[in-house]
Structure 1
Amino acid sequence: MNFFSTSVSEAAIEKVVSVLRSGFLNEGAVVKEFEAALAEYISGPTFVTTNSATAALHLCLVHLGIGPGDEVIVPPQTFVATGLIVLHAGATPVFADIDPLTGNIDPVSIREKITARTKAVIPVHWGGEPCDMDAINQIASEAGIAVIEDAAHAFGAEYKGRKIGSLSRLTCFSFQAIKGMTTGDGGAIATMAEDDAIMLTRRRWFGIDKLRTPVTDIGERSVAIDILGYKYHMNNIAAALGVGNLPDDAARLARRREIGATYIEALVQVPGLRHIQRRTDSRGSFWLFPVLVDEREAFGRAMKSRNVPITVVDRRIDKHPILGGLRDDLPGIAMFDMQQIHLPVNDALTEEEVQRVVDSVKMGW
């Protein structure tokens, strides 16, 4: 039994082989094909693919003009990249607390952290569970700050009947190898504004939109670069994996939700273990299945002795010296960080393996 799995369909393998045989491996028509497929799947936004979610988040900050002297509000319960990209932009990350019952950023804390220097907030749909986006978007609108959703865990998740990616101006996804939908490594920005999509497409490749820029009769791409750009584009090989894998995403997502529902029902009465609170009006992606346990070290030893893979995927990132060091004004994350641990929920788990997890937890620790 593995904690994570990498799902690659036969169609994806065939698509990659076709790209390899084509001799054109760089960013090209297959990237545009993948972006169009993503837009159809989410329904609403335009997609700009990148080579990682980290690159996608950084591009959004740069695109919004965020830099030195600015502040960006982030949660401490996330992967460290969410904080580092703020530093890459030259801005200062400011940590809002989380709700210790959900693991997601607390809108009340966001409001408390806003200053005259605040330019954006990055809510993270941690583990694939949607944040309270109505409250967050209202607070951001009142304060005149941008919202960049970090949906690295939440591809396919829904908030009040709408897929994540169709709620805010900018949403960033991850297609890294162990994510539910993978391109091997890669990311994407979903934007509700075509103007944003055009500028982000330029910024991802040195300020040039090479798919829209004509080539002259002498083979020259005639451009005048007037914005700062990066080498953040996706190539045709990664996009081919995406094109081939995307049609199976709904089935993989349904399987993870099925496993999650089994855990929720079977483990609700286990002493010393509590489920996180999940929104009843939304549906998560179940990329992670966190539980809150008493005596976590004992729990971990017990599960390992029963050959059940468990881990703590993300710990509070404010502890890192480069992000300012451990805060003492975040009681929500302090509580959550000491109790969280994660059970395997990947779509490759068999029924027998899921039952082994359930039985092992019920045995106690």
Structure 2
Amino acid sequence: MSEENDNGAPMNNEKDNLVSEEQEVTQETTGNKNEKQDDSRNEILENMLKAVLDKQKNLVDELRSVKSELQLIRDDLKPKSVIAAVSNETDDEDETDSESENESATMTTTGKYFVLKHDFKNVSSFKNLEKIYSEKEEHFGVPWRILIQRNTEKEHFGIFLSCAAEMDDQKMSFDVVFETKIMSNSTRKWSKKTSGDFQNSIPKNEMGPELIEWAVLEKDYLVDDQLTAEIHVRIKKTAGIYKDNLRSFDETMEEFSDVVLVVNEEKFYVSKLYLAAHSPYFKALFLGNFNDSKKSEIKLTGIDDDDFQKYLEVLYGESAIDEFTAEGILMVADMYDTPLVIRKCEEFLLEKSKKSLKKNLDLSTRYNLEGLKEQCLDKIKSVADIRSVIPGDIRELDPSIMSELLKKSLALHDPPQ
């Protein structure tokens, strides 16, 4: 028995060893299988994450591309700033007051430039000498509108620029040049160019080109008895609209200045370093390697001397911004890239201005005033508000504003439950 037990013990040990080895092999196999499954899961998860990241990257790239395209469109729509410091001697005064039919008139679009546009309906039903006006639009602190009038006796039709300011109570005058256009669905266009003065001494504050024959208008330019009229206006000189100057920049300041800037024959004695510190434009002009840098007198173009006066006043710390001056000052500040003055103009428009929602929205996009744009968009609460800010030509609407208005329109028509 003892021998059998002794002989059996090694066999049992061998069996135990075999079982143990099989268990180890099984555990190892199971472990390898689990590791492979984990590796497979990790690989799938990594691929899924990679796919998500790739999609996000593509989406970001697309959004950046769209943003770049919108910025290019916005920059293209924005009025171009004056680049040259010295003006050409030729001006609109050398151009003829009117031009023949379908002849294109070249007109400077810098400075105090704006466009009025209106669709007049049921034109053939207008009574003899009845005055039909478009809605008033404020530009540079002054209300303007289009006037049309039919003369059934002489079979003529007139289109006029109307200044709706109360000139009887103020010593106002506006030296303007403007081009009147009639648009149609065909390739034919009618345009006339006119220049003149709106003055308080003249009771009639309406000005227009030669009349167009009714038969020609009816045949070539009326579409479903509707007339689309445009007037492109540039204000060359204003007087009597701004308050008295708050600061002098005339020859009395000569000892404190080292350069004279000339705007419309008016001389402004200023400091090169002070202007250069606030404006990259003037920094390049005064301190750069340009022919004008060494001159003691430099002529600036494309701006009004009254606007430049108020711009300098704001730059020198005066409170010169009001309903009348805000747009002109903002135009000059944008032209000469002066953040301090731009910020002060935006603060006025945000906190004190009574301008219309449409006007403020237009200024915000024209001069990239993000704070003012957000305020305007926040004020749009209804479909009527959306309609009130849409220009006559939808193509004139800034792309970023168009997308925001679309979102608001969809939200109004399909409010959240």
Under TM normalisation by the shorter chain, which class is it? under 0.3
Q: RCO greater where, 1 or 2, for CA within 8 Å and sep 6 or more?
A: 1
Structure showing the higher helix proportion among its residues: 2
Who wins on radius of gyration, i.e. which is larger?
A: 2
**TM-score (norm. length: structure 1):** 0.25
**What TM-score results when the alignment is normalised by the length of structure 2?**
0.22
Greater fraction of residues in strand = 2
